[in-house]
């Protein structure tokens, strides 16, 4: 059975969020601008989805995810005094040994969320399989979000650190078991590599190169150089004009220029824009049924909630009115 109290620990308290924003001057660029929030469900709830589900757990999960959407939307509406859209993204790249989508009882764990989100304005549930979630978030930012809009990604995926470096006014909220961090363009390298070695002279857009030079456990990429040595190698390569201080699309000749056989293959594995091409070029981008909304008739909504959630130990209606 799911531990409800543990699941609510995935939420960041409002006083913590206030502290994070006030300690990061660059976050002031979000004030007065519409904000788009992208919640990567599978990475945030990875540990929960790895367990066996009882029938009642589906209700608990549905409520918790909807509460998370309401929690952050309410906070940023008040903190930034602006409109907030929330995108609940359910996607996973690895279809072999993937996280739980169907319960032991043959029930889709996220069907209730999909149904209820149709009633809430500016709350969207998007289901895709076979793609990295950050690739889909990248596409949504490019297509749905204005350049001037603020963007907040809530994700623990290894590729999420690259999103604040690729898009303006974009921040990442990383929700770890012990540590919760707000990450910006300038802090992305130190946040991902969890190292105090100075790296301020390196463009954060070089994160994929640094990953390839170092290691990536999540991608089963073995160690090439220890982190300090990887930084030194990168600085030497920049000085030799192998890389520029900015976005570097992977190119095959890099193996020869660095004298590292197989580096190109490592690089493309770590590069989010390259990984995103699979989704950008797929027919799935044409499916926009997730945008379809139903008129918010609260009598119908209450009936659905009673049928799907059927619980009196959650103050779910408070959150529904926050979402509306």
- pLDDT tens digits for range 23-38: 998 888 887 889 999 9
Residue 47 belongs to what H/E stretch?
A: helix 46-49
pLDDT above 90 for 139: yes
| Residue of 126, 159, 184, 169 lying closest to 35 (CA atoms) | 169
Strand partners, 90: 127
Judge residue 66's burial from the number of C-beta atoms within 10 Å of its C-beta, 0-12 exposed, 13-18 middle, 19 or more buried.
buried
Angle between helices 55-80 and 316-323 (to 10 degrees): 50
Mean pLDDT over all residues of the chain? 85
pLDDT above 80 for 296: no
User: Which pLDDT tens digit goes with each residue over 35-79?
Assistant: 999 999 999 988 877 776 666 677 778 888 888 998 899 898 887
Would you list the domain boundaries of the chain?
Answer: 4-185+294-323, 193-275
What per-residue confidence (pLDDT) applies to 313?
A: 41
pLDDT above 70 for 290: yes
pLDDT above 80 for 279: yes
123: tokens are 């709350």
- Terminal-to-terminal C-alpha distance of the chain: 30
Judge residue 92's burial from the number of C-beta atoms within 10 Å of its C-beta, 0-12 exposed, 13-18 middle, 19 or more buried.
buried
pLDDT band at residue 171, thresholds of 50, 70 and 90?
Answer: very high
Q: How far apart, in Å, are the Cα atoms of 71 and each of 168, 172, 177, 203, 279?
A: 24, 16, 19, 33, 30
What per-residue confidence (pLDDT) applies to 312?
A: 47
pLDDT above 80 for 293: no
Write b or e for each residue in 93-103: b if 16 or more Cβ atoms lie within 10 A of its Cβ, otherwise e. beeeeebbeeb
The answer to which of 19-23, 238-242, 317-321 has the lowest mean pLDDT is 317-321
| Residue of 27, 53, 50, 157 lying closest to 106 (CA atoms) | 53
1: tokens are 């059975």
Could you tell me if 191 and 156 are in contact, meaning their C-beta atoms sit under 8 angstroms apart?
Answer: no
Could you tell me if 178 and 47 are in contact, meaning their C-beta atoms sit under 8 angstroms apart?
Answer: no
231: tokens are 């930084």
Does the domain spanning 4-185+294-323 belong to CATH 1.10.1740? no
pLDDT band at residue 178, thresholds of 50, 70 and 90?
Answer: confident
CA–CA distance, 274 with 84 (Å, rounded to integer): 29
What per-residue confidence (pLDDT) applies to 105?
A: 47
């Amino acid at each position: 059975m799911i531990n409800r109290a543990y699941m609510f620990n995935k939420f960041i308290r409002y006083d913590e969020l206030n502290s994070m924003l006030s300690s990061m001057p660059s976050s002031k660029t979000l004030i007065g601008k519409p904000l788009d929030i992208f919640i990567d469900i599978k990475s945030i709830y990875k540990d929960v989805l790895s367990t066996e589900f009882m029938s009642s757990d589906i209700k608990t999960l549905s409520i918790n995810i909807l509460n998370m959407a309401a929690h952050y939307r309410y906070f940023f509406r008040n903190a930034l005094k602006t409109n907030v859209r929330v995108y609940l993204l359910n996607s996973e790249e690895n279809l072999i040994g993937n996280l739980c989508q169907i319960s032991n009882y043959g029930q889709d764990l996220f069907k209730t969320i999909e149904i209820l989100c149709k009633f809430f304005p500016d709350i969207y549930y998007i289901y895709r399989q076979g793609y990295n979630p950050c690739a889909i978030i990248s596409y949504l930012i490019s297509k749905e979000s204005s350049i001037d809009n603020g963007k907040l990604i809530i994700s623990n995926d290894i590729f999420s650190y690259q999103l604040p470096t690729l898009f303006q006014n974009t921040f990442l909220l990383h929700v770890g078991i012990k540590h919760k961090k707000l990450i910006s363009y300038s802090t992305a390298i130190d946040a991902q590599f969890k190292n105090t070695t100075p790296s301020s002279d390196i463009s954060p857009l070089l994160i994929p190169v640094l990953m390839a030079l170092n290691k990536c456990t999540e991608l089963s990429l073995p160690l090439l150089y220890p982190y300090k040595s990887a930084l030194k190698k990168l600085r030497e390569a920049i000085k030799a004009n192998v890389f520029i201080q900015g976005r570097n699309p992977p190119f095959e000749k890099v193996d020869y220029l660095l004298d590292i056989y197989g580096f190109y293959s490592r690089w493309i594995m770590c590069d989010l824009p390259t990984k995103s091409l699979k989704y950008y070029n797929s027919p799935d981008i044409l499916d926009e049924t997730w945008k379809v909304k139903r008129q918010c008739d609260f009598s119908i909504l209450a009936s659905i909630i009673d049928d799907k959630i059927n619980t009196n130990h959650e103050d779910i209606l408070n959150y529904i009115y926050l979402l509306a």
